[in-house]
Amino acid sequence: MKAKKFSFLLFFIFLLISSFSILVTAHSLYLFGISLDFDKELKSNIAKSAQKFLSTSEEPLSFDLDKGLVMAHFEPEQRNYVEINPLGYEVYGMRNENLKHKEGQFAITKQQGFQIAGKFFEKLPEKIKSELKHDSDVSEVDNTYFYKWFRQVNGILVIDEAFMVNVDAVNGNIIAWRLSIFDYPKSSIETVPAISKNVAKRVAEISFNAPSVKDFKPYLIIVVNGPVWVNKLQGQFYPFFVGVNAKEGSIAFTGTIPGEVPKGYNAGDEIKVIETDFIKQIYSQK
């Protein structure tokens, strides 16, 4: 079996050398100052949805693209904006610095802030709530709390798909919130790996001729709609992450992980590997 595993690794090294690719999705783009003049109806509907949300007749000053969402700005320097999903023109987020405290000290505890954020979370559609898992790690920035829920499918983190609520720790206002676009429905997401984390670890090490970082345990995430093993290698000058496609072993990404991973996340050990016909064929080669 070890000989078969070695043949499997050599096959993937050849595959990687001949067709190395880095995964890039349109979902990951952030563009400043975009023009919507190419589609007047799109521009009008986005503006109307944002105006309705803010109860204003003012026209947006500018538009940005935030990972598939269109940000309609009503004040400069990102002080007051609404994020609109262009598919359906629903509001998926906002930020309003005018709701933030001007003076004062902490009056809201993290637990009280979570209760405020939690009540807002409960307003989400049940189908969306059922796939979001609360992260207990709460960050504090400028006397505000950030509460996050990360999307998981069958216990596996879907990278870069989350829900965030920013609560003012002085006055208790929700000054910002954001729901990511879920690129694929749960039924279209693959979560079962066809190669083990140990095989993925060796693929990463041999591909970049670098050792794994000591004590780092590979874990499984979903990138776009498929499983990816994440390993961390020690480069010549600094460590870097490598994502290995868990279905067929190609490199999914290198450098940084394409999205936030909650502290303590380590899914993978409990997940059963089911080899595909493609993988079985590789293992059978001598």
The pLDDT of residue 3: 44
| pLDDT(286) > 90 | no
Q: Which residues contact 54 (CB under 8 A, 6 or more apart)?
A: 74, 80, 82
pLDDT per residue as tens digits for the range 52-83: 999 999 999 999 999 999 999 999 988 999 99
What does the block give as tokens for 218? 């590979």
| Closest residue by Cα to residue 241 from 212, 207, 202, 220 | 212
Residues 264, 182 share a domain: no
Residue-number span of the structural domain to which 182 is assigned: 27-186
Last residue of a domain, one of 165, 186, 207: 186
Q: Could you give the CA distance from residue 183 to residue 251 in angstroms, rounded to a whole number?
A: 21
The pLDDT of residue 274: 65
Q: Is 15 exposed, middle or buried (0-12, 13-18, 19+ CB in 10 A)?
A: middle
Q: Could you give the CA distance from residue 199 to residue 194 in angstroms, rounded to a whole number?
A: 10
Residue of 194 and 272 predicted with greater confidence: 194
The pLDDT of residue 210: 97
% of residues, the chain, pLDDT over 90? 81
Domain count, the chain: 2
% of residues, the chain, pLDDT over 70? 86
Last residue of a domain, one of 186, 212, 243: 186
pLDDT per residue as tens digits for the range 231-247: 999 999 999 999 999 99
| pLDDT(101) > 80 | yes
Residues 265, 123 share a domain: no
pLDDT per residue as tens digits for the range 204-260: 999 999 999 999 999 999 999 999 999 999 999 999 999 999 999 999 999 999 999
The pLDDT of residue 277: 58
Whole-number mean pLDDT of the chain? 89
The pLDDT of residue 215: 93
DSSP state of 206: H
For the chain, the residue count is: 286
pLDDT per residue as tens digits for the range 176-185: 999 999 999 9
Q: Could you give the CA distance from residue 118 to residue 108 in angstroms, rounded to a whole number?
A: 14
Residue of 187 and 27 predicted with greater confidence: 187
The pLDDT of residue 275: 64
Give CA angle at 246 (134, 265), nearest 5°. 25
Q: Which residues contact 112 (CB under 8 A, 6 or more apart)?
A: 172
Last residue of a domain, one of 186, 206, 236: 186
Residues 56, 161 share a domain: yes
Residues 117, 63 share a domain: yes
pTM for the model stands at 0.85
